[in-house]
């Protein structure tokens, strides 16, 4: 998937003894958006933006050792090694012959090196390029910055596509805001910028600028622009969409004191696991301190400062825990960390409360299972079929204030909340809207300048295609029951070639699958870790179609 960017120059940093200025170069091919302000919370911002950098460069996948240089050294010194090995034979004739051969081989090697030097240099450049640019091993995309009426937020993805980072800054973070225009843009994020962030000090005035001049420079002067074309795999784009969809799902929520997060990070630093299981197990009892168990050591951390306030007991295991070390820099400046768990083996979100800032760290189920393959969370989100006219109304209402809740939009437009939730879910899965887990509302955010190929990305999942085939064959029957909390219990039967399947699910008031089960092999093997099976999807879509015919009233 090809993305085109044009930056007005490079990101610039000016620094003196009393002042630091940071000017991000935006993508001039996108609709204009800019921001100019002076930092107030300097140290907290420095630590938060540095943690975001840790997300960008994070890659915890296994990498085999590169033995290219060693093999080249062995090849170059083969004659010397052979001569040393043969040195044990003291026969004068043999020694003289060895010396002669050594001299001859060195001369041949030198000539060969001279001839092959351009090849070796080109090969090393090629290896470096693969290491830096191979889509399956090393992908770095410039951050996405979105400017809203109430806050400025940065988003990024890790190189292994398993970690998502978002830094939101409300306008109290700035002492003065000279100018801004709402919108979303990609910015040039140079490597040197991280080093400059480390120079931020309380006694130095720091200006942050998403350069507005980038949109007014004459396009005829091509030297002022840096053109970048990035061929991104669909996995990156789909992963970004899955993060947005996962944030809309029901979670187990609790707060952790910063010192409790420090205790977890300390143990991870002190010990290195050599065998499995390598999980972090949360034991949550109502009214009791949160208990964290680090396996395989069985070490327990009783979080006496963090009491679980939920109504039911939970025990949830998560993997890929070393990615939590990204939060270390935030511990001194954080007031608390709010944890959102989707379930055992499913993604988790950690939100650091930094006062006027918030940092969201989204982790996939485990490191090797990136967001694109961790679970089809868009399939768990609202699946109501919504007419294009309703979608357009919802988008216009969201564009008016840039952010809102589904309930408020439904009330303003006198629409059914299920339809509004379905429209917002569709826009979320298309990369045009993001759900703010911290503020509990939807925000307008165009992931790309041009519309994403939603159908291509959406039907990348075989379960959806199988569900569509089942619906076309009309082999679905179901029964529904409305519960007092406005959720719906849905049970169905799907006739297969050799067996009849019996899926069942609980859909909450926000049209999300809260729990589900089926007797098919896909569910038995994967539960909901890879999303619902085709039988669940077929029953749900059949139910939605009937409900649309009846008027879509859930009451």
pLDDT along the chain (555 residues), means of 10: 47 60 57 80 90 85 72 76 62 68 80 74 60 43 80 86 91 85 74 77 83 42 39 63 83 95 94 83 96 92 94 91 94 96 88 95 79 62 77 91 92 89 84 89 81 54 79 84 87 88 86 87 88 88 71 35
Q: Report pLDDT for 227.
A: 37
Peptide bond connecting 214 to the previous residue in cis, omega within 30 degrees of 0 = no
| Residue from 282, 189, 201 nearest 39 by CA | 201
Pair of tokens at residue 340:
């959102």
Query: In which residue are the tokens 């299920």 written?
Result: 418
pLDDT of the residue at 350: 97
Domain count, the chain: 4
Q: Specify the 3-state DSSP secondary structure of 430.
A: coil
Backbone angles phi, psi at 472, to 5 degrees: -65, -30
Cα 261 versus chain centre, distance: 21
Give the C-alpha separation, 436 to 445, whole Å. 11
pLDDT of residue 10: 54
Structure tokens at 247: 């944030």
The answer to whether position 89 is within a domain reads: yes
Answer yes or no: do 494 and 543 share one domain: yes
Q: Which of 133, 155, 183 is the last residue of a domain?
A: 133
* 48 plus 160 within the same structural domain: yes
Evaluate whether 348 touches 363 at the Cβ level (below 8 Å): yes
The answer to the question of residue 537 being in a domain is yes
237 and 327 together in one domain: yes
In a domain, 212, yes or no: yes
Whole-number pLDDT of residue 71 = 78
Residue written as token pair 């830096």? 132
Instruction: Tell me if residue 43 falls in helix, strand or coil.
Output: helix
pLDDT at 137: 36
Give the pLDDT confidence of 482-494 residue by residue, as tens digits: 888 878 899 999 9
Same domain, 365 and 307: yes
Q: Would you call 102 exposed, middle or buried from its count of C-beta atoms within 10 A (0-12, 13-18, 19+)? A: middle
- 555 inside domain: no
Tell me which residue range forms the domain holding 13.
2-61+142-370
Burial class of residue 236, CB neighbours in 10 A (0-12, 13-18, 19+): buried
> What is the distance between the alpha carbons of residues 423 and 528, in angstroms, rounded to a whole number?
24
CB 159 within 8 A of CB 138: yes
Full-model pTM: 0.71
Report pLDDT for 207. Answer: 83
Same domain? 48 vs 72: no
Q: How far apart are CA 495 and CA 283, in angstroms?
A: 40
- Shared domain for 56 and 73, answered yes or no, is no
User: Taking a C-beta distance cutoff of 8 angstroms, is the pair 478, 507 a contact?
Assistant: no
Q: Cβ–Cβ contacts within 10 Å for residue 321, how many?
A: 23
DSSP state of 332: T
Q: Are residues 148 and 201 in the same domain?
A: yes
Contact 356, 297 (CB under 8 A): no
Kindly state whether residues 394 and 506 are assigned to the same domain: no
pLDDT for residue 222? 37
CATH assignment of the domain containing 340: 3.70.10.10
- Could you give the CA distance from residue 373 to residue 360 in angstroms, rounded to a whole number? 21
What whole-number distance in Å separates Cα of residue 156 and Cα of residue 146?
12
Q: Is residue 460 part of a domain?
A: no
- Are 34 and 150 within one domain? yes
146 within some domain: yes
Residue that finishes a domain, picked among 335, 370, 405: 370
Same domain, 230 and 315: yes
Residues 416, 310 share a domain: no
CATH code (residue 395)? 1.10.10.10
The answer to whether residue 426 sits within a structural domain is: yes
pLDDT at 372: 60
Reported as half-sphere exposure (CB side, CA atoms, 13 A), residue 367 has a value of 15
Which of 394, 420, 455 delimits the end of a domain? 455
Q: What is the pLDDT of residues 52-96, one digit of tens each?
A: 888 888 877 666 677 777 777 777 777 777 666 656 555 566 667
- Using only the alpha carbons of the chain, give its radius of gyration: 28
Residue 197 lies in a domain: yes
**Rounded CA gap, 525 and 369, in Å?**
16
> How is residue 329 annotated by DSSP?
G
Between the two ends of the chain, the Cα-to-Cα distance in Å is 43
- 336-341 and 252-256 beta bridge pairing: antiparallel
User: 330 with 430, same domain?
Assistant: no
What DSSP line would sit under 208-248, residue for residue? EEE-GGGGTS-TT-GGGEEEEEEE--HHHHHHHHHHHHHTT
The token duo for 239 is 């992963």
């Amino acid at each position: 998937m090809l993305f085109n960017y044009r930056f007005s120059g490079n990101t610039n940093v000016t620094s003196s003894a009393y002042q630091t200025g940071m000017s991000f170069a935006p993508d001039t091919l996108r609709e204009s958006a800019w921001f100019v302000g002076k930092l107030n919370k300097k140290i907290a911002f420095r630590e938060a933006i540095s943690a975001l950098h840790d997300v960008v460069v994070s890659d915890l996948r296994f990498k085999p050792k590169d033995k290219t240089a060693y093999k080249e050294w062995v090849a170059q010194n083969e004659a010397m090694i052979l001569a040393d090995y043969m040195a044990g034979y003291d026969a004068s004739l043999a020694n003289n012959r060895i010396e002669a051969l050594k001299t001859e081989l060195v001369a041949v090697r030198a000539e060969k090196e001279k001839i092959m030097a351009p090849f070796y240099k080109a090969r090393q450049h090629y290896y470096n390029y693969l290491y830096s640019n191979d889509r399956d091993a090393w992908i770095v995309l410039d951050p996405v910055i979105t400017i809203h009426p109430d806050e400025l937020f940065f988003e990024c993805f890790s190189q292994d596509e398993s970690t998502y980072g978002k830094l939101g800054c409300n306008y109290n973070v700035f002492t003065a805001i000279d100018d801004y225009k709402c919108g979303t843009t990609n910015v040039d994020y140079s490597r040197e910028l991280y080093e400059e962030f480390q120079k931020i000090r309380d006694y130095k005035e720091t200006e942050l600028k998403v350069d507005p001049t980038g949109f007014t420079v004459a396009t005829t002067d091509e030297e002022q622009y840096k053109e970048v074309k990035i061929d991104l795999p669909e996995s990156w784009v789909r992963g970004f969409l899955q993060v947005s969809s996962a944030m809309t799902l029901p979670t187990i929520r609790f707060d952790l004191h910063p010192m409790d997060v420090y205790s977890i990070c300390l143990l991870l630093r002190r010990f290195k696991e050599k065998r499995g299981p390598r999980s972090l197990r949360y034991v949550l009892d109502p009214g009791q301190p949160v208990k964290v168990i680090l396996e395989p050591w069985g070490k327990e951390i009783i979080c006496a400062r963090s009491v679980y306030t939920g109504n039911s007991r939970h025990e949830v295991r998560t993997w890929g825990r070393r990615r939590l070390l990204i939060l270390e820099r935030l511990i001194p400046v954080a007031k608390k960390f709010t944890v959102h768990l989707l379930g055992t083996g499913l993604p988790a979100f950690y939100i650091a409360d930094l006062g006027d800032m918030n940092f969201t760290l989204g982790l996939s189920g485990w490191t090797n299972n990136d967001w694109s393959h961790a679970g089809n969370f868009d399939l768990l989100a609202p699946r109501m079929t919504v007419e294009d006219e309703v979608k357009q109304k919802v988008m216009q209402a969201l564009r008016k204030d840039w952010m809102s809740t589904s309930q408020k939009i439904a009330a303003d437009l006198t629409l059914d909340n299920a339809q509004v939730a379905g429209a917002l879910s569709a826009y979320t899965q298309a990369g045009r809207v993001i759900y703010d887990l911290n503020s509990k509302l939807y925000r307008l955010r165009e992931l790309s300048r041009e519309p994403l190929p939603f159908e291509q990305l959406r039907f990348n999942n075989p379960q959806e295609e199988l569900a569509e085939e089942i619906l076309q064959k009309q082999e679905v029957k179901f029964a529904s029951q409305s519960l007092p909390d406005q959720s719906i219990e849905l049970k169905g039967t799907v006739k297969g070639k050799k067996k009849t399947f019996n899926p069942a699910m609980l859909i909450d008031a926000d049209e999300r699958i809260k729990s589900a089960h089926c007797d098919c092999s896909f569910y038995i093997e994967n539960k909901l870790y890879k999303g619902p099976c085709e039988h669940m999807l077929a029953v749900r879509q059949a139910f939605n179609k009937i409900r649309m015919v009846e008027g879509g009233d859930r009451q």
